[in-house]
Structures are given as structure tokens and as C-alpha cells.
Amino acid sequence: MDTQITLRVDGADRPLTVDTRTSLLDAMRERLGATSAKKGCDHGQCGACTVLLDGRRVNSCLVLAVTAQGQEVTTSDGLAVDGQPHALHEAFVDHDAYQCGYCTPGQITSAAGVVAEARAGWPSAVTEDLVGDQVDLTDDEIRERMSGNLCRCAAYANIVPAVAEYATEQGVRA
Amino acid sequence: MTALSDRPTTHAPAVGSDVRRIDGPAKVRGRAPYAYEHELDSSPAFVAIVQSPVARGRVVSIDASAAEALPGVLAVLTHENAPRLGEVVEEIRVLQSATVQYAGEPVAAVVAETSEVARDAIGRVVVRYDSEAPDVVLSVDRDDLYAPEQLMAGFETDSVIGDVDAALAAAPVAVDVTYATPVQHNQPIEMHATVARWDGDVLRMWDANQGPHNLVPVLTSAFGITEDQLHVVSPYVGGAFGSKAFTHVHQLLAGMAARVTGRTVKLELTRQQMSSLVGHRTPTIQRLRLGAEADGTLTAISHEVVEHTSRNAEFAEQTATATRLLYAAPARRTTHRLARLDVPAPTIMRAPGETPGVYALESAMDELAVALGMDPVELRVHNEPARDPERDVPWSSRNLVACLRQGAERFGWAGRDPRPRVREVGRRLVGTGVAASTYPTRRRPSQCRIEAVPGKATVVSIDASDIGTGAWTALTQIAADALGVAMAEVDLRIGDSRLPKASGAGGSTGTTSWGPAIQAAAQALRERVHAEHGGQLPAGGVVVTGSSGPGEEVERFSMHAFGAHFAEVRVDRDTGEVRVPRMTSVFAAGRIVNATTARSQFLGGMTMGLSMALHEESVLDAVHGHFANHDLAEYHVATNADVGEMDISWLDEVDEHVNPLGAKGIGEIGIVGAAAAIGNAYWHATGRRVRDLPITPEAFFRGE
């Protein structure tokens, strides 16, 4: 069944017609021409499709497009402001935190989400202080929290310092 | 233009610098177009594939009526109505007959207006099969093992020097051990995808591959077209590791679907389909026998390999070829035997041959060191061959010993207590291990065209491929130096079958093949401008081509990169969990073109080796013949949390023999041997020798 919806992607309202079975990821990639978020598995296993939905990271392949109406969808491309790269964009380039680049937009939106979660005090499996106001994004915290984003080129050891640099700038890393 | 004068360039050399990727800013924002992201405005149709659940048998009937009746379905292709393909190898003769040769083989394809409708429709195609029980279990006891005529890359199937059995029998110290490696899958994060359209009699494809020219002979033959009627475009590729090197069935299906419907079609394999449709690393069973004098001098090396291939293809992986050169020994033997099984065709996966083979050899060397009571670094150094021990030619350069020494120094190997299971930190047993690495240095013929026009960036065209290696950047560096200009003055064009023919990305041959071709074209430009234009680039510009390829050095020298891995392993004695808190690796890989991207290549290889050691295994269902764990939830690859400190360095190696660039290739050397270093450290931590990968937590509790 087709239905008319409006998605707000990277700050722009985008009216479109979708099959009600269409995922947010496919709506962006196949109907809106918004291809920053990538498809690596379509099952929420690889993280390449990670976007921010009202600021929280989600696997967009697991979100039905019709449920994303009225929410702000942000891809890595949308993190850039006025054409200027986001600090995470620069950190990933500086640390060579990628090779083929396919998982990278998902890594970057995920990293943006990680910093927000740490600021909000959300603990992870490796957090010692479960009731703190803010989490200190140590290397181990970054490794744990970024493990939903697979990188087969295996740039992990470069992704950690790239995210750490941004976390430091944002005041969530000692 | 300094490029064309005899004056030295005023630019600092780009080669050897650590300049960042030129495609980085586009990639981090997600703006570099991968295959599926082309032709966004073309109102494409979408293709979905119906796969056989049967591994061996034939299609008896197909009823596509329910699928065809679904609104939005444009066509259902089956072996009864699909276009006939021209001559192609058996393993990709898709939809050409009723025969089924592996579980997952395509038996129908749906073309529909949307991807949702296409995927809905494949569930409505009713296929009946006649089937037999498949034969998919590899063992050394099979009575149908056979010796292939030759191995991949033209290697001899067997090599025998001296009386190996007598030398083994006479050896004061010997080991006789068997290792097994499982099926592994390449799993690039970009799923294989093809966009196809026929513009009249010209087939256009935007495709994820490791070099458009790799596809040209297959696609032209399959569709009965000339090279001029084919255009394959692949500027950015989301990882490959071998699975995107060759033409697979989906590219043919895309071309067929586009021809039948007259539409631009998009075909993206699902992650699950990649387990059967784009190849896998063959499983191996490897018997290693090493004999040595009491002082550690190797007297015999025997490496016997059993591995699988498919009913529809002969894929003979060169698993033991590194054993032919890594160490000196007077008596030596390597053999390869294949079992033809009802499985999909295997393919190349990062360092095919060396990755499983050196894992086994370097594990056995560790076992020999233990049997000798000798330090495993010293055992390797002691058996360093002065010349290639089987070809009896000199090395172009060989710095394995320097890698071992430097690695030992950086890792803190000195003073290591050789006893197993005597170190504990909390609940964790701690151990360290070492292994050597080697990978052949090769190159393939490649051509380059340069168009120089005053006042414009110089256009450098070559059908090279960047699958994440950094080729966009490295080749721009090489071109800038060859032309004597800044990188910004080079306009590189790669990843297009209409560019000058070049070899694909694979086998660590990219930079070593493409770089010299670019250098040759730049030299041709210089000569042309001097000879015909008095050293001044004419207003109308100049176009030249250059080519380069392997020469007599191939016969005169044994050419290889080398490396040494050191790993620390910690094993939880309560859960069996294995962690690798740190690795140190040192490489001797000739000239390093870009320090930043090279380090990433080494890092990626080492991490994939860690992943092989601890995580990766595709499980073949013995009853039904399919891969049971065919997605990324169940086929585990290393995640961020699995990787600790990675210390990577390389020697300033100069090798003037290998090619004009002096580079040896770096895509594979990082993975080779890495799993052995981890397995050896696991033994040192636990006292348990695990000889079948991966080393999962339950291995710690298994009976010996």
C-alpha cells in the first residue's frame, strides 16, 4: 500500500510516496536520492545505516519510513553546517579513520550519538560509575559504544582516536 | 611547467609523505557515489533473486503466475525464458538450465517497479525441485581427493626436493601436526550491487568491483557485444577483499533484467545472498611435519594441504606456496589435493593461499620451537635462507630477520619466559606469541594516458580501482612526482572501463602495476615535449600513453614482502574469552608511497587476521549444504571492542629490482601470519594448542 508522507532529512522537508513497508533507509536511498546513510546488511547488524532521529542514533534500516514523520533525520552529510565539515568529519580524515569509506557516514553519526549519550550520563557495558551525571569517554568506552558499527576494512584503531578527539572537544573525555 | 624541463622540481616529493586521502572529505559526508547510488534520477526498476534451497538437483517446474500478477512486477526471469548467454564459465551460467549445483543458486529473478514489490514477489514464485543429498563435508579420508593440474596464479601443484620422509625419520626433533581453517567470507560492508541499462546496443553498468576491466571479457562474451558496446563505471567501492574481483551471477542477471525490461535496473545482493553468490575462502586441512637438528636447524619441511572446490569450478588455492620459500631446509615437500563438493565456487579472499598456509606453517614452527626448547624468534632467524630455497635464485630483498628483531624490540620480547600458563592477571591467563609473514611481490601489465594542456590540471587516466586502499591518493602522489607538479595540478581518472586498460585491485598488485604505468606515461610526455615542441608544452596540449609490466626480474629474483607479528593474548580462565590487548607488527614492503594509508592497510590486514584467529567461521550445513550462519549477526567479524593497541611500523626498505617504483604492495602482508601469532600466544597463555580456527571461548574447555 502506498501512502504520502513527509520526511525531514538533514533540515529539509521532503514529501514523498512510499510503500508502507519501506524502511527509512530505503526511503532515503531509493526515493529521495539521499544516499549518505549506507546499506550494509538491512538487518540492523552492521550499523552502516546509522542516522540520528531527533538526536538519537538508530539503524535506519530498522525504522519504517512512515513512523519517522515529524522527526528530524540527520545523516552524516547533514552534520555539515553551511557546507562546512563537522568536527567529526575532520577528525576522521585526520586520523584516517576509514578506508573504503562505506561504513564511515554511519560511524560518524554513531559517534555524534555516543557523545550525546555520554553527556547525558548513559552507562555502557564497560562503565564503572553507573549513576554519574556524565560518562568519561575513555578509549574502552569508545570501543564498546562504537561496536555496533562494523568496519570490515578494520579502521577501528584509527576510529578510536578520531572519536576521542571530538569527545575531548565536547568536554566528555578527561 | 617544471615537469617538462630538466630543472629539478621545486615541489617537495609527494611520494613518501603522509598526505591525507583526497577522497576523504566526500567519503566522510557520504557524498562519494558507490555503485547503487548512481542513476538516482533514472526511475529504475529493481531486481530480486529467488534462490534454490536445494544444493544438488534440478528444477522440475516453476510457477511464476502469482508473482507476475502482483502489481508493479515487470518480469520474472527463469531458465525457461531468460536471455541465452554466450560463452561464460560454468559457475556463472545463471538461468541457463534446470540444473542446480549449490544451495543458493539463482533459479529466478523478479524485476519490479520498487524494491519492496520485487522482494514480495520472490516469495510468490513457486519452484519444485528434484534433489539429492549434497556432498559438502571436507575430510582427508575422502577417496576422491585429486591433484589439480596447477594451482591458482600458475603455481605447481606439488613441490618435492630431497627425501623428505627419510629426513623426517632421521630428525632428532620433529613435529607432526594438523591444522584446520574454516570457510570464511569476505564480507565487504558495501553489498555487491550493480546498476545496469542498455542504451541501444551499449550496456552500461555502475558496479561494485575491483577493476572494471576485470569484467570486460566476461560481459562482452556473455552478452555478445564488443568492448565498445560496454561501459562499466566504478569510481568508489565499499570494500572487497577479493569477492569483487571476478564477475559473479548478479552482474549477468542485472544485464539480462535490463535487456528484458528496457529499463535501468538496480540489483543489490542481500547480505545473506553474499554467502552463496560471490564466493568464499576455501576451508583447509593442513598437515605440517617439520624435522630439525637439536640446534634448531631445519632438515625437513612437509606441508600437505587438502581443501575444497566446487562441482562447477576448479578453484585450487595455493595454500602451501609460502612454505616453499619462508625457511631453509634440504628436504622439502608441499602438496595440494582438492575435493569437488556441492558448494558454491570459492573465490579469492585477502592473501588467498598465504593466509591459511602461513597460519599453519607458523603455528607448526612455534610447536617446533617448544619441542626444541628454543626461542621462536631465534628458531626463525636460525633458518633464514640466503637464496630462495626452491627456485635457487637470489632475493630481490629480504628483511624478515630485521622485522623479527625490530618487532621483538618494540614489543618487549626479550626475557620472555617460554613456559606456558604461568602468568595471570586477575582471572586472565597471559601469553605472547610471534609469527612471520610473507607475500609475493608482483605486478601486471597496465596502461596510462596523460593529457597535458597549458594552464590546466594534467589529466591522468588509468582504469585503476580504489577499494579502500587509498589508490585515489597514492596514484595522484605518484603522478604529481612523475610530472613534477603539485598534487592539486593532477586530475586523476580511475574506475572506468573506457579508461586505458589496467589490472584490477588484488594480490597487492595495484600500486606496483599502476604506479609504473603512470611513471612511463609521464616519461613519454617529457620526451614528446622535448622532441617535438622544444621543451615547451604547446597551446593545443599533448596526449601520450605509457605502459609498464613485469620483466626479466621475475626470472632473476625471488621477490616478496616480509613481516613479523607479535601478539599478547589474555584468556579468561572462567569463561574462556580470548582478548588481544596489543599487537606489534613490523613490515619490509619496499617503498611506502603514503605513510598514512599504508599504515591503515597494515592495520586492516592485522585486524582481519585477529578476526580470523578468534571469530570467523562459515558453517556449512552437512545435510542441506547451505551456509547456516549467513549474516553479520552470526558470521562474526572483529568489532571495535575486539581490537586493542596496534603498534605498526616498517623498515626503510629499498628494492630496485621489483619495479620502477620500488614498492612491494601492502594489501595482504598484514593479514598473513597474524592469526598464527595470536594462536601461538594463546598456547603460551593457556598451555592449550588449538589447531582449528577460530579459537572460540569453548576451545578452552575442550578435551585435549
Tens digits of per-residue pLDDT, B57-86? 999 999 999 999 999 999 999 999 999 999
Confidence band (pLDDT; 50, 70, 90) for B1? Answer: very low
Domain residues of chain B, as ranges?
2-32+443-549, 42-132+192-268, 152-184+280-441+556-701
- CB neighbourhood size of B252 (10 A): 26
Nearest Cα residue to B678 out of B649, B658, B704, B699: B699
CA distance readout (Å), B138 to A29, B284, B340, B616: 42, 8, 9, 18
Ranges in chain A annotated CATH 1.10.150.120: 87-169
Q: Kindly indicate the confidence band of residue B703, based on its pLDDT and cuts at 50, 70 and 90.
A: confident
Do the domains B152-184+280-441+556-701 and B2-32+443-549 match in fold?
yes
Q: How many degrees, rounded to 5, is the angle at CA B424 between CA B421 and CA B427?
A: 115
- Give the closest residue to B646 by CA, choosing from A108, A93, A124, A143: A143
The predicted structure's pLDDT at residue B9: 55
Confidence check: pLDDT of B5 > 80: no
- Distance separating alpha carbons of residues B104 and B51, to the nearest angstrom: 5
Chain A 106-165, residues with CB within 8 Å of chain B CB atoms: 108, 142-144, 146-147, 149-160
How far, in Å, CA of A140 to CA of A128, rounded? 11
Mean pLDDT of B643-669: 97
User: B417 at the A interface (CB within 8 A)?
Assistant: no
Beta strands, E only, B182-248: 193-199, 202-207, 230-233
Measured between CB atoms, does B410 come within 8 Å of chain A? no
Q: CATH homologous superfamily of domain A2-79?
A: Beta-grasp domain (3.10.20.30)
Query: What distances in angstroms separate CA A108 from CA A65, A87, B253, B298, one per listed residue?
Result: 22, 10, 34, 51
pLDDT of residue B76: 98
How high does pLDDT run on average in chain B? Answer: 97
User: Which helix (H) or strand (E) segment is B401 a member of?
Assistant: helix B400-411
Pick the range with the lowest mean pLDDT from A130-134, B106-110, B376-380. A130-134
Answering whether pTM is above 0.90, one says yes
Q: Does B469 touch chain A (CB under 8 A)?
A: yes
Residue B668 annotated among the catalytic residues of the structure: yes
What is the distance between the alpha carbons of residues B77 and B269, in angstroms, rounded to a whole number? 16
Which residue carries 632467524 as its cell?
A: B381
Q: Which of A39, A96, A142 sits opposite B600 (nearest CB)?
A: A96
In this predicted structure, what is the pLDDT of residue B704? 56
Residue B685 has pLDDT above 80, yes or no: yes
Which residue is associated with the grid cell 580456527? B693
Domain B152-184+280-441+556-701 in CATH 3.30.365.10? The answer is: yes
Task: Supply the angle between the helices B354-372 and B674-686 in degrees, to the nearest 10.
Answer: 30
CA distance B248 to B433: 39
CA distance A64 to chain B (A): 12
Residue among B468, B469, B640 whose CB faces A143 most closely: B640
Write out chain A residues lying below 8 Å of B241, CB-based: 152
A83 in B contact zone (CB under 8 Å): no
The CATH class, in words, for A87-169 is: mainly alpha
Give me the catalytic one of B116, B156, B668, B698: B668
What's the grid cell of residue B427? 582471572
**Is the separation of the CB atoms in B460 and B479 below 8 Å?**
yes
Residue pairs spanning A and B at CB distance below 8 A: 191
Give the model's pLDDT for residue B4: 54
Find chain B residues with C-beta within 8 A of A85's C-beta.
Answer: 25, 28-29
- Closest by Cα among B352, B350, B280 to B320: B352
Q: Which residues contact A134 (CB under 8 A, 6 or more apart)?
A: A118, A119, A120, A121, A172
Domain B2-32+443-549 sits in CATH 3.30.365.10: yes
pLDDT at B10: 61
Question: Helix (H, G, I), strand (E, B), or coil: what is residue A9?
Answer: strand
User: Mean pLDDT of successive 10-residue segments in chain A (174 residues)?
Assistant: 97 97 98 98 98 98 98 98 95 98 98 98 95 95 98 98 98 96
Kind of pairing between the strands at B173-181 and B424-425: unpaired
Do B30 and A98 count as a contact with CB atoms less than 8 A apart?
Answer: no
Q: Which helix (H) or strand (E) holds B309?
A: strand B298-310
**Continuous H helices in B224-327:** 249-261, 274-277
* CB proximity B47 to A under 8 Å: no
> Does the pLDDT of residue B344 top 70, yes or no?
yes
Residue B12: the pLDDT is 84
Sheet holding B159-161, edge to edge: B159-161, B331-341, B298-310, B284-292, B173-181
* Contacts of B1 by beta carbon, 8 Å cutoff, 6+ apart: B452, B454, B484, B485, B537
The pLDDT score that the predictor gives to residue B11 is: 73
Interior angle at CA B186, CA B181 and CA B188, nearest 5: 155
Nearest-CB residue to A157 (from B25, B470, B643): B643
Residues of chain A with CATH 3.10.20.30: 2-79
The DSSP call for residue A30 is: I
pLDDT at B686: 98
- Give the three cell numbers for residue B236: 568508489
Find the residue in B nearest to A20 (Cα).
Answer: B116
Spatial CA neighbour of B439 closest among B550, B321, B549, B332: B321
Whether B565 has a pLDDT exceeding 70, the answer reads yes
Order of strands, sheet of B424-425, starting from the edge strand that comes earlier in the sequence: B424-425, B428-440, B560-572, B578-588, B645-650
> Is B20 in CB contact (< 8 Å) with chain A?
yes
- Residue where the block lists cell 568508489: B236
Query: How far apart are alpha carbons B554 and A161 in whole angstroms?
Result: 42
Name the residue of chain A whose CA is nearest to B241's CA. Answer: A153
| pLDDT value of position B477 | 98
The stretch B198-216 carries a mean pLDDT of: 98
**Closest to B270 (Cβ–Cβ): which among A26, A42, A104?**
A42
> How far is B248 from chain A, CA to nearest CA, in Å?
19
Locus of grid cell 594552464: B455
Q: Answer whether residue B8 shows pLDDT above 50.
A: no
Q: Taking CA atoms, what residue in A is nearest to B24?
A: A93
Structural domain B42-132+192-268, CATH architecture: Alpha-Beta Complex (3.90)
pLDDT tens-digit map of B123-134:
999 999 999 999
Phi, psi angles (nearest 5°) of residue B419: -70, 140
Q: Is the pLDDT of residue B7 over 70?
A: no
∠ CA B247-B188-B569, rounded to 5°:
135
